[in-house]
Amino acid sequence: MHNDAKSHRDTPPGIRALATSERVLALTFDDGPDTEFTPSVLDILQRYGISATFFCLGVQVAANWSVAKRIVVAGHQIANHTWSHPHASDVTVSELLREVENTTDTIEEATGERPRWFRPPYGELGAEQGRAIADAGYEVVLWTVDSLDWLGITGPQIVANVVPALENGAILLHHSAGNVAGTVDALPYLIEVCLRLGYRFVRLDEAM
């Protein structure tokens, strides 16, 4: 759906990895929930008994309440990715805060959970915007390893992007909506490889 893989050159301060030397990884999924790919991702995670963090768009939650609810009921962490996925440079501080707070309110209404984790679309956030987000009580989370799945690439290509870059405490960026059939294809194999390498998966709030 969206390119969250912009270079970190212009990105804000934020959590880019788990503060641990343990062999753990955090799977994260942006841009959902939808009714096409998010349920398949949830099915795969359930099959392997793995928890993940979903950075959801408010507009998607509003359209797909039952899937958002399923994320939480299944034991995953739900987090904020704005309402409509704007570029930071296209919105004012007050507009961004409104996007974030509307999304949080909608997530809470749909799931009973009020998220405190926030991932800015495209990894972009102005300095003043970042201060306002922090003042509003949110932790900004970016990523360590970008799967590039938003490009619509195949499962094997996604695996090739992720596995060589694995490290202790890595936050893995994937998407659960958009042109991401490759993610659904890659996920079982990727999980199995990580498990064979001795990694375990955690939600962000389990490691921070």
The residues annotated as belonging to the active site are: 30, 175
Give the residue among 143, 185, 144 at the shortest CA–CA distance from 164.
Answer: 144
Residue 201's SS3 state is: strand
CA distance 101 to 104: 5
Beta bridge partner(s), residue 170 = 17, 25
Give the residue among 154, 60, 175, 181 at the shortest CA–CA distance from 110.
Answer: 60
Token readout for 33 is 């929930």
Please give the helix or strand (H or E) that residue 142 lies within, else none: none
User: CB under 8 Å to 30, separation ≥6 — which residues?
Assistant: 2, 4, 54, 55, 81, 119, 173, 174, 175, 176
Residue 172's SS3 state is: strand
Give the residue among 114, 147, 153 at the shortest CA–CA distance from 25.
Answer: 147
CA distance 26 to 19: 11
The residue assigned the tokens 């007050």 is: 94
Is 188:13 a contact under the CB 8 Å cutoff? no
